[in-house]
Structure 1
Amino acid sequence: MKPFLPRRVVAAALFCTAVAASAAPDSGDRYRVTSKMQMAGMSMPAKPVEVCTARANPVSEQAVPKDKDCQVQNFRVEGSKASYHVVCTGKNAMTSDGEMETLPDGYRGSMKAQVQGQQITMSYEGKRIGGCDYASESPEAMGKALTAQACEAQLGSVVSYSMYVGPKAACPTYKAKFCANVNRTAEQIADPARFAETERTMGAAIWPAIEGCGGSRTAILGKACGRAESGGDLDFVGDYCPDLAPRHCADADPNRSGRFLVRHCAERARSLAAQQCEGRGYTAMQSSPYRGFCNSYAAERLRERNAAAQRQATDGAAATAPATHDAPAKKPSIGDRFKALKDRLGGG
């Protein structure tokens, strides 16, 4: 799945195309802009994008990408070139040095940033290809269009729920469409087999999405438990609906629900094991109608013994282990730092 790029990242990629100015119809210049970003072997692919800017000098302090926690320092213009220094404070603190140059048919520039000891380089070039209407084709309008495309593209992905629900959602107007998809998924995973698989593979992502759309894990699990009971899936009942387990101990089929009996109906399981499993040889066991139950009983007893031995070994190791200092805080990965810079640039 491709990550969603918020508007401030789009603004950073387009870099220096937005010039603050009041615009009249047909007041802009259309540029084909190519930008690149590189950091310790990682790169943001270069891809030409057409943008419309206000008809003004693209080499200006207003064109330097920054957010509210950044200050432009030492902005200097010498002929057709400009240089500057940017200092950003706060969570994603960074410093950077950049330069811009006006060309006969456009502009170009670059920026080198230092973020937590890592150097990130960004370069860009814009070539004028004609006029445009800045009011409707500005980078802001383009950013909104790109955001809309991203919002449409992720509607079917429940793991992208933070784009659509919550106070920081980037696509709040798409919440109804997103939740319609989520609610269909919620109905599907009320099936016991689907519920168990979903819980194992994507529970951390799907339940916040369902809750954000007005549903709940509790309600869906209730439906799944009801279906498991009616379908005789007592292993699911025991694993996910333990409050319902006691009423099925008396009528559970030992061979079909052996694990359920051993884990949740200890008294009946011991009685059956004593009657049908203990003292039987291999040949006799293979012909026994309780073979499935006896295998489940033996496997569960072995699992419990192994778990107890593991706990004992772990407790013994903890008791004899020397005191250790707290582990140092994990440093942000290169990917985290790369994303932090992209979020920092552009201020959008």
Structure 2
Amino acid sequence: MVEISEEKVIESKQESIKNTCEYQGELYFVFSDISNGKCFIDVNGERKYLDKNGCVANKQCGTKSIKTAIENFEDMKKIQDYFIENKKWNFYLLFTLNINTGRRISDLLQSKWSDFFYKNGNMKKFWDVKRIDELGYRVDGEKKTRKKKELFINIAIQEAFRIFLENEKSIDFEYDYDEYIFKQLHGTHRGKVISQEGYRQALIKAGEYLDYDIRSHSMRRGMGKMMIELHPNDLVAKSVLMELYNHSSEKITNKYLGETAKLEREYLQDFGEKYKKYVMDGQEIPFVVKKPVSVYDNSELRDYMLCAFGKILDAKDETNAVEIMKLYNQLLDGLEMIAK
């Protein structure tokens, strides 16, 4: 009778084959790591862990998460020009759509020519984001949230498609109309859809022209931050972005754009400066009169201010001091009612 050591049993379990996974055009066996229960594939001696869908996860163990936003139009142009100069037209188009739609890369990679064009070659005005459901059908909605989203196709997207089609002569709507847009058009993996990892590597390479790291979410965040800068006095700008991102609250949008983190840094810095001044340096602490502080939800306060402004306009011709005072008190009472 042949005895099998406990170490061999563990090793066998750890390396047991469950199924296969396609990664960058190649098929790999899937193994299970007994130490953490996660599935992985072995790519040239390097473990690539899988997500819950059985695909190589974007965030790998031991790698840092990049949460930057591409900062300005100058940096956007550097990335665009890199793809153009190197004739990477697929990535040029993907980058342009990534930043002009604010969509996640998973949604963009599932888009087809028929999503953006009619069969006669004319471009549509809106893109209905689609995903693959559990039965393999294409249905309306984002892959991550499953929320439906119809996006206006702006002039930059139209121009990017024109430039792409001028340079990639292999696209023929008669045959490619129902094909995925972002298929690899050349090389060993021709015909396969670009992987998220492939786009990530392309951005890393293009990002060498910047002094900070970028990923696909950098475009999504950057678009939002630039929109806020382009509409600085628009009271509904945050609400528009909330709808655009399909976020459930303005609070999530603020956090996503990095505004919450920015305020957190400012608060910590303010506290640190005062601590150093009064505790560490021993300077005299000034007498501070404590004042009541009211906290408001941004969207509720914005709606209230618009309503109050309307009432003030309605009363612009009022000369009766008593009526004016009534309105003043009414508006103050309203502020107290919406205070948290």
How would you bin the TM-score normalised by the shorter chain?
under 0.3
The TM-score normalised by the length of structure 1 is 0.20
Larger radius of gyration: 1
- Pick 1 or 2: higher relative contact order, CA cutoff 8 A, min separation 6: 1
TM-score (norm 2): 0.21
